[in-house]
Structure formats: structure tokens, C-alpha cells
Structure 1
């Protein structure tokens, strides 16, 4: 069944969109990521213009993240205080990111920038996560005791706060900076930023994995909602027909993902996420390197 998208000006398969939304929703529940790092590139592959994919993908992330965070709140694995600090930084970053995105779009360079950002960020983060997760998995199989957390430069910074749910007493500056970075990514790449935030919260801030997932989702909800609003009111690139189809699948998938994620060990969750990130990165890199099927494309005004 073909569905015409008025803003994107293309026709796509409705069942494919519903399946895509369900898959991304499952990722939200399992890994604590919004799923934008997967949904936005997949929308590229389906022929959706990057500007529309970025703005509308953020819309779907809001719905799937709300559905997933409700499941985590029931298990009390959301650090609301940490989430609030991350959120403040995220809103600042989102505002800056939308300004940069619109500036580059006027220059006609946004499509290439978005794709290059995905390849670089996904490649680096995926590789680091895979190596660390594989090492942790091998240590757990050998029965080796987990390494103790060492106090690094993060613990020496001022403006310390106590985050009881995470069991931390650290400076508010690193979470704030992580939030700003994620907000920038949300605006420029159409992602919730979970694939950056989850590793940062585990390895930089030292948060427990079970608390990281729910806290990440809490922050993602508000940052992506703010980003969607800015895109919709400044460049009019949010396709509500596309967003609705993705949201329906995403809400269902998020509940399934939360159940599956609760049954897996932390090391298994991290290595699965790393493999997924590297897979999407490889596909995008291949598309940038290969000669496109159409060397010339006539772009509709206000969409490209």
C-alpha cells in the first residue's frame, strides 16, 4: 500500500514505514537510544530528502522515547535529577544546532554534511563501544572481577551535585556538556543522541548501565520535541503523514524493547548496540563512495 508524503513529495510503502517505526521503537526500549541514528539513514535509503528525514525523524523519536521511559519509570531506573541537568544542556545545544542546520541548508551543503556526520560519529562511537564491550564480555566469561572505577578529571571539577539514583557525587559540568553535544546532534542529524549519550554516561560519568537507559530516554524526549518544533516553525520540513506512520509503529516497538532489554546482560546490550551502529555506518559510507544511480537530481524548492 503506497502512501504519499506531501512535504517530502514522494510515495512510500505504508507497511514498510510501520515496520521501520516498530524496529526503532524496540531499540529505544532496549538500549536507551532514541533510534534517530538508524531511522534517519533508513529514511534516506527510502528516498526521503535529508532535510525532511532529519526533522521528521526527531518527531518519531519523541513518541517511542515516551513509551519506553514509562516502562523504565515503573522499574525506578530513571535518574530524574541527572536527566534534568542533561536536558538543560540539550536545549541549549538544540537551539545552536538548528541555527547551524538552517544556515548550511541555505548554502546548499546540508545533505553532504548530515551524511558525513553520520559516517564519522557512527564509525568512531561504534568502534569504541565494540572494543570495550567485547573486552567486558570476555572478562565476565573468564570470571574476572570487574575493574573498579577510578576517579579521573571529571571528579575534580567544581559545582558538584549528588545524584542518588545513580549513586554519584560529581560536578554538573560534564553532564551539562554531554547535553549540549546531544542537542547539537539532535538538530543537525535528526537523532536523539542516545548513541553518543549512553557511552558518555557509562564511561565518562560512571553511571550504572541499568540507570543510563531510562535517564537517556528522559532527556531525549524533551530535546527532540524542542528540535522538532524549531524545524517545523523555521523551515517547515516536518512531514506529519510520515511522522504519524512512524509513531504508530514506534510506540508498540518501545514496549517490546523494554521487555527484551530487561532480560539481557549489560555487556550483551552494549555489544549489540555497537554492531548495529557499525552496520549503519558501513552502509552510509558505501553510499558516499559508490557512484549514484542518478548523477543529476532536480530538487524541489524548499525541500532539499
Structure 2
């Protein structure tokens, strides 16, 4: 069933969009990520303009993340205090990222900016997560324990106690992590979970069992703020596209949360790393391979 998306100005299959939203929702529930790092490139591949894809799918991230958080609340695996600190940095970063996005769009370089950000960040994070996941899996099979190491962040001032995570650390690293995720959310159209998860585990030292729920909690508000800012600043939010992705995402998140219970933390990290690297490889190929049409006519961007 073909439908016309008024803001994106393209026709796409409605069931395809529902399926994409459901797939990303499953990833959200399983890994604690908003899923935008997968959905945004997939929207590129089916013909949605990058500026519209980035701004609109952030709305779907809100729905799938909210659905996932509700499931984690039942298990009491959400550190609200840590989530608030991360959120404070995330709002600041998101506001800055939207302004950068608007500037690059006016210069006509937003497509290149988004693709380069994906290739660089997905490549680095995917590789690091894969290495760490394989090391953790190897240690667990040998019967050893993965002890939490003391990090540089524990010597910083402005410490706060996070009881759910069992931590007493400075608020500076969580705020900086939040700022980085906010910028990425605005420029790449992602919830930032693929950055947030390894940062929460390896920089902040949070236990894996509370990382997923806390990450989703923070993503809800940052993604919602990002969507609002894009709509006001850039007029690039397609509500019909957002609605179809949202419906699929809510259903998929519940399925993903149920699946996550049956998988070990190390296995989840390795699987997520593989998915990240596959998407990175596809985007890198698209940048390197010469397109069929070297020139295209783009609509004028209003000042």
C-alpha cells in the first residue's frame, strides 16, 4: 500500500515503514538503544531525504524507548538519578546539535555531514564494543569475573551517590556523556544508545543490569526535545512518517525486551557490535562507490 509523505515529498509502502519501525523497536528493547543508528540509514536506503529522516525518526525513538522503559520499570532496573544527570547534559548537547544541523543544511552539506558522522562513530564504537564483548565472553567462559576497574573519573570533584547503580562518582563525566549524546541525537537522528551504553559501562562503571533501562529513560526526553527543535528550527518533521514508525516501534520494543531476558549481557554486546559494523560498512560503501547520477536538483532551503 503506497502512501505519499507530504514533507518528505516521496511515496513509500506503509507496511515497509511499519516493518522498519518494528525491527528498530526490537533492537531498542533488546539493547537499550533508541535504534536510530539503524533506522536512519534504512530510511536513506528507501529514498527518504536525509534531513527528513534524521528529524522525523527521532520521534519514533521516543515511542520505542518509552515502551522499553515501562518494561524495565517492572524489573526496577532504571537508575533515575543517573538518568536525570545524563539528561541535563543531553538537552544542552541537543540544542547545540540542532543549530549545527541547521547551519550545514543552509550550506547544502547536511547529507555529507550525516553520512560521515555515521561512518566515523559507528566504526569506532562498533569495533570497541566487539573487542570488549569478546574479551568479557572469553573471561566468563574461563570462569573468571569481570571486575569493575577504578577509572580516572573517580578522582574528580562534585561527587554524587547513585544507589541503584551502586556508585559514588563525580557528576562531571555523566554530564559530558549526555552532552555528546545530545549532539549526536540532533545531527545523526539517533537516541545515542550506541554511544551511551559503552560509556555507561566502561567510563561510568555502571552495572550492565541497570544500563539498558537508564539509557532508555534518558533517550526518551533527549529525542523528544530534538524532534521539537528540528520541527521549529528546520521544518523537517514528517508527521505521517513518524506515526507509522511509531506504531511499529512500540510493538517491537515489547518483543525485544522479552528476548533480552534470555540472552547474556556479553552476547548482547557482541550482537549489537556486529549490527553497528554492518551498517557502518554499508554507509562507507555508499560514500565510496560512484553514484549512478552524479548531479541532482535539491529544493531551495529557506533562510
Give me the whole-angstrom Cα distance separating, in 1, the residues matched to 2:269 and 2:126. Answer: 10
Q: Which residue of 2 aligns with 1:111?
A: 111
Q: Which residue of 2 aligns with 1:63?
A: 63
SS, match of residue 76 in structure 1 = coil
Q: Which residues in structure 2 correspond to 1:1-304 (within 5 Å)?
A: 1-143=1-143, 145-302=144-301
Q: How far off its partner does 1:301 sit?
A: 2.8
Give me the whole-angstrom Cα distance separating, in 2, the residues matched to 1:302 and 1:25. Answer: 32
Q: How far off its partner does 1:147 sit?
A: 3.4
CA contact (8 A) 2:140 2:146 kept: no
Tell me the TM-score normalised to structure 1 length: 0.98
Q: How far off its partner does 1:25 sit?
A: 0.4
Deviations 1:136-169 (A, max 9, x none): 11221222x1232222211000000000000000
Q: How far off its partner does 1:42 sit?
A: 0.5
Deviations 1:228-250 (A, max 9, x none): 00000111100001000100100
Structure 2 stretches lacking a partner, 5+ long: none
SS, match of residue 198 in structure 1 = helix
Give me the whole-angstrom Cα distance separating, in 1, the residues matched to 2:12 and 2:150. Answer: 51
SS, match of residue 77 in structure 1 = coil
SS, match of residue 17 in structure 1 = helix
Give me the whole-angstrom Cα distance separating, in 2, the residues matched to 1:192 and 1:217. Answer: 8
Deviations 1:149-198 (A, max 9, x none): 22221100000000000000000000000000000000111000000000
Q: How far off its partner does 1:120 sit?
A: 0.3
Give me the whole-angstrom Cα distance separating, in 2, the residues matched to 1:32 and 1:175. Answer: 17
SS, match of residue 147 in structure 1 = coil
CA contact (8 A) 2:139 2:146 kept: no
Q: State how many pairs are aligned.
A: 302
Aligned CA RMSD, in angstroms, stands at 0.9
Tell me the TM-score normalised to structure 2 length: 0.98
Give me the whole-angstrom Cα distance separating, in 1, the residues matched to 2:29 and 2:19. Answer: 16
Give me the whole-angstrom Cα distance separating, in 1, the residues matched to 2:186 and 2:60. Answer: 14
Give me the whole-angstrom Cα distance separating, in 1, the residues matched to 2:173 and 2:275. Answer: 27
